[in-house]
Chain A
Amino acid sequence: MQHVTPAEHGMETSTGLDNRKLLMWLFLASECLFFGSLVATYLLYKGRSTTPPFPHDTTIAGVEYSGIYDIPFTSVSSFVLLMSSLTMVLALAALQRDNRRAAQVWILATALLGITFLAGQAFEFTEFYHEGLTVSSSVFGSTFFVLTGFHGTHVAVGVLILLSLFVMGLRGRLTSERSLNLELAGLYWHFVDVVWIVIFTFVYLIQ
């Protein structure tokens, strides 16, 4: 076996997996615990709120309160986010075929879909705020805003990464040999999407 140094390009690793890719998988493993703790907190406090607004239609002491969630709206924004995973896959596939122009288009599309999702979330947060739901109004407000806000921050970071890659691409630095950069961004992006499926199911859909 040839003696190669770690810094050398194309170094073979003991597992055969690229260092950075392994790092990303480990990071995502620890992300599971971040989101897991927040989702667990949400589920623990589900139905414990004593002050309106409530997430779903609720009747307390004969008084009916209509739920605050707008499921059709959030379904649409969830669909937008899931579609961004598709464009992410197309971006990577294009770059690996060395079709840089198509890759740029798909990267930008992914970022824009992400921004659309964030805009939807901003709209939703504002609506809820006007209906009286804040971080301090009830335990539902605390858990809802912190969990979905934590996820939204992840989407925002993802958008920042995608836009950085887009700028790299404009400068001709995003090539098929360096597609790992995009692949790593993709791993992160898909993870954030999958987490949203969990949040959408547990937080919005299950009553």
Chain B
Amino acid sequence: MASAIPEQRPVSIGEALRGLRHEAATYKGILSWIATVDHKRIGVMYGITAFIFFLIGGLEAMVIRIQLAQPNQSVVDPQQYNQIFTMHGTTMIFLVVMPMSAAFFNLMVPLMIGARDVAFPRLNAFSYWVFLLGALFLNFGWITGDIPDSGWFGYAPLSVQSLGHGMDFWMLGLQILGISSMAGGFNFIVTILNMRAPGMSLFRMPVFIWMTLVTSFLIILAMPVITIALFELGFDRFFAANFFNPENGGDPLLWQHLFWLFGHPEVYILILPAMGIVSEILPTFARKPLFGYPFVVFSGILIGFIGWGVWAHHMFTTGLGAPANAAFGVSTMIIAVPTGVKIFNWLGTLWGGSIHLATPLLFAVGMVAMFIIGGLSGVTHAVVPSDFQQQDTYYVVAHFHYVLFGGAIFGLFSGIYYWFSKFTGRMLSEGIGKVHFWLMLAGFNLTFFPHHMLGLLGMPRRIYSYPEGMGWDVYNMISTVGAFVIAASMLVFMFNFIRSIKRGRRASADPWDGRTLEWTIPSPPPPYNFATIPVVHARDEAWHRKYVEDDQGRIVRVPAGAEHDVESHEAAGAEGHHIHMPLPSIFPLIAAIGLPMIAFGLTYYQDTHGEWALPLIPAGVVVLLIGIFGWGLEPEAE
């Protein structure tokens, strides 16, 4: 290890540049991606991985819908059905919406705050690799046949007693994913608080940055709670501990409390990034500043706080008693207020704007509309007697798909259409994009609106089949048809995406007449993002660089030549502008590999003939430590 210690002496600019070129030349092709610490590349990897899992989770959903299309079907048996809905929920939440949001954090945060990278580039790479390996571990059961089967919420004691290794993969997979999320959360908080360009005070930050900040705080404070819950579950499963074992004084309800104490902040972790994206897109396409910026920001912060005091609304029927139910019912209604404030601000932003009805705006407006429907059914859940009726019915399924698919997924797609050109230098096809939007909107509502009726007609969740004559047949069939429409819309999207990467119209640096800093740099941005770190004078800095008020108070464009929006990056490069970028590193990946090794060891070592797995635990710890020490001792930049 001694030889790995670098010389700690100041290096000249020339040496640094040579070093940089040398390092960059060391890693080419696939290795340059494996060793990358560039937030943009990491963001792209997050996005692609999350989208692949979106397709897998979507296929799982299709199996569910095919099975339920008609009464008394047996496409899958009950056990397989349990496995598929468990994996569908777990995948969509932990492997799709969270990492897709992380992709946007990675891609956009440094660009929007005027930074060259995140605060801890290698920690960022570590987050991605841990996420990827955790996701693969979670899905490993598809190979061995041990597939998680106790629901994405893993209620004890079912999750303790579940046979086989399915729930081990679930439990340890989520532990690994939690490490990834927390590492990302720390990184983005430090980046946002510490790496803002000069002049970008907190209240000049784009709303997306604010929502990333709130989400990151929720992540670092909520993930520990589920980590401990999973830790306790692990002790119950592996070492016959009694945390959730009523025979020995344990209480299965503790699992629900811990799970939902995490789980409710988690739903805001899922929706706030999408709300941030929409808050960027609506002003750009309405050509107006965001209406009531401070209200939107403070509402987001307030949601972050109140989100901690509503968890027991998932548990109204568990017998908490009337006072607790009433208190959590009221807190749940209160949290609807800041959410409503945001919706009115979005409507206020569109009101009177000169609207440019491009695809990103369609998805953003779709998000607002669908989220309102999901929000309203959410408020009905806050009414305790009403919730008693709806608990565990398809009405709940309708509600959370309207907020998570109608809300989060529509919001994330609007972000993809909005920022695609920034990273590819080409535009997604508007025409195909609109086909995608209308198909997805129609398919989504066809699929999930009937779930409201199904729930009110008493169809329970998580049943693998149902008899005839319940009045559920037609709604189920409509829902299944809708699922196929959504699937078709995804094919349209993928066609558009792949075609546009190759043959899309060339994009300028600022195709939408944007308002934030990312539109002041070339598309795609150079590795260092900003040749010169911008100095920020206003909220919507990029817009203020392009437009001024004339004598009559009319808004006019700054004449060409006078504007200083897109800087001459080639010139800056030619001057030998000394930009010190973080060096690529493979140690984050090495450290990450240690974690699934430990998890495999824990999963298998108690099996008959499982002796082979025991050494994996210390070996994984050693690999993790090698990664961490190598990481600590290598030079990080220059």
Confirm or deny: B144 has a beta carbon within 8 angstroms of a beta carbon on chain A.
Answer: no
Contacts of B229 in A (CB 8 A): 37
**CB of A63 within 8 Å of the partner chain:** no
Bound Cα distance A37, B233 (Å): 13
Residues of chain A within 8 A of B251, CB atoms compared: 44-45, 48
Given A19-B120, A23-B120: A38 and B228 interface contact (C-beta under 8 Å):
yes
Please tell me if the beta carbons of B254 and A26 are within 8 angstroms of each other in the complex: no
Partner of A15, one of B193, B235, B258, B581: B193
CB pair A26 B189 closer than 8 Å: yes
Complex Cα–Cα for A33 and B227 (A): 10
Select the residue from B187, B189, B224 with max chain A CB neighbours within 10 A.
Answer: B224
Select one of A1, A14, A31, A44 contacting B535, CB under 8 A: A1
Which one of A91-99, A133-141, A196-204 contacts B?
Answer: A133-141
Partner of A171 from the list B2, B119, B220, B532 (CB cut-off 8 Å) is B2
Q: Is B120 touching A30 in the complex (CB atoms < 8 A)?
A: no
* A139-B248 contact, Cβ under 8 Å, with A19-B119, A33-B225: yes
Chain B positions within 8 Å of A34 at CB level: 224, 227-228
Known contacts A7-B580, A14-B195, A48-B249; A30/B8 CB under 8 A: no
Residue A3 interfacial (CB < 8 Å): yes
Residue interface mask B529-541, A partner, CB < 8 A = 1: 0001101000000
Q: Is B223 an interface residue (CB 8 A)?
A: yes
* Contact-residue bracket for chain B: 35 or more
Does B27 make an interface contact (CB < 8 A)?
no
Q: What per-residue 1/0 map shows which CB atoms of A162-176 lie under 8 Å from chain B?
A: 001000000101000
Interface status of A50 (Cβ within 8 A of chain B): yes
- Quote the shortest CB–CB distance from B214 to chain A (angstroms): 14
With A3-B532, A29-B220, A139-B248 as known contacts, state yes or no: A41 contacts B254, CB within 8 Å: yes
Task: Find the B residue at minimum CB distance from A33.
Answer: B224
Docked complex Cα distance between A41 and B244 (Å): 11
Among A14, A19, A22, A29, chain B packs the most CB atoms within 10 A around the CB of A14
A145–chain B nearest beta-carbon distance, Å: 8
Asked if residues A135 and B235 are in contact (CB atoms below 8 Å), the reply is yes
Please, how many angstroms separate the alpha-carbon atoms of A135 and B229 in the complex? 16
User: CB-CB < 8 A to B119: which residues of A?
Assistant: 6, 19, 23
What number of A residues sit within 8 Å (CB to CB) of B? 43
Contact present for B194 and A135 (CB under 8 Å):
no
Q: Tell me which residues across on chain A come within 8 A of B632, comparing CB atoms.
A: 164
B240 contacts the other chain (CB 8 A): yes
Q: Are B241 and A135 in contact, with the CB atoms below 8 A?
A: yes
- A175's nearest neighbour on chain B, judged by CB, is B8
**Residue numbers in A under 8 Å from B222 (CB-CB):** 33
Q: Is B232 part of the binding interface, using a Cβ–Cβ cutoff of 8 Å? A: yes
Is there contact, CB below 8 Å, between A41 and B232? yes
> Does B57 sit at the interface, judged by CB under 8 A?
no
> A207 an interface residue at 8 Å Cβ cutoff?
no
What's the A-B contact tally at a CB cutoff of 8 Å? 138
Measured between alpha carbons, how far is A30 from B194 in the docked complex, in Å?
Answer: 19
B33 within 8 Å of A (CB atoms): no
Bound-state CA distance A13–B192 (Å) is 10
Chain A residue contacts of B195, Cβ below 8 A = 6, 13-14, 19
Q: How far is the CA of A18 from the CA of B240 in the complex (A)?
A: 44
The answer to the question of B431 belonging to the interface, with a C-beta cut-off of 8 Å to chain A, is no
The distance in angstroms between the C-alpha atoms of A38 and B242, with both chains bound, is 14
Are A146 and B194 in contact (CB-based, < 8 A)? no
Nearest-CB residue, chain B, relative to A34 = B224
Q: Is B439's beta carbon under 8 Å from chain A? A: no
A126 in contact (CB, < 8 A)? no
- Which B residues lie within 8 Å of A141 (CB)? 241-242
Check A51 for interface membership: any CB of B closer than 8 A. yes
Do the beta carbons of B533 and A3 come within 8 Å of each other?
Answer: yes
Contacts of A146 in B (CB 8 A): 231-232, 235, 241, 243
Q: Decide yes or no whether A60 CB sits under 8 A from chain B.
A: no
Indicate if the CB atoms of A31 and B249 lie closer than 8 Å: no
Q: How far is the CA of A146 from the CA of B233 in the complex (A)?
A: 11
In the complex, A104 has a CB within 8 A of chain B: no
A139 in contact with B250 given A22-B190, A27-B186, A146-B232 (CB within 8 Å): yes
**B189 touching A136 by the CB < 8 A rule?**
no
Known A-B contacts A3-B532, A17-B194, A37-B258; the reply to A135 vs B8 at CB < 8 A is: no
User: In A96-154, which residues have CB < 8 Å from any B CB?
Assistant: 135-136, 138-143, 146, 150
Docked-complex contact A15 and B232, CB < 8 angstroms: no
Which of these, B115, B193, B224, B239, contacts A31 with CB under 8 Å?
A: B224
How distant is the Cα of A180 from the Cα of B196 in the complex, in angstroms? 22
Q: Given B117, B189, B248, which contacts A51 in the complex, CB threshold below 8 Å?
A: B248
Judge whether A5 is part of the interface by a CB distance below 8 angstroms: yes
Contact A49 to B249, CB < 8 A, known contacts A37-B258, A41-B228: yes
Question: Which residue from A1, A15, A31, A139 sits with its C-beta under 8 Å from B194?
Answer: A15
B116 touches A (CB below 8 Å): yes
Q: How far is the CB of A140 from chain B (nearest CB, A)?
A: 8
Seed contacts A6-B117, A49-B249, A142-B242; 6 additional CB < 8 Å A-B pairs: A4-B533, A30-B186, A45-B250, A45-B251, A135-B235, A139-B249
Closest 8 CB pairs of A and B: A7-B637, A139-B249, A33-B224, A37-B228, A13-B194, A142-B241, A48-B249, A136-B240
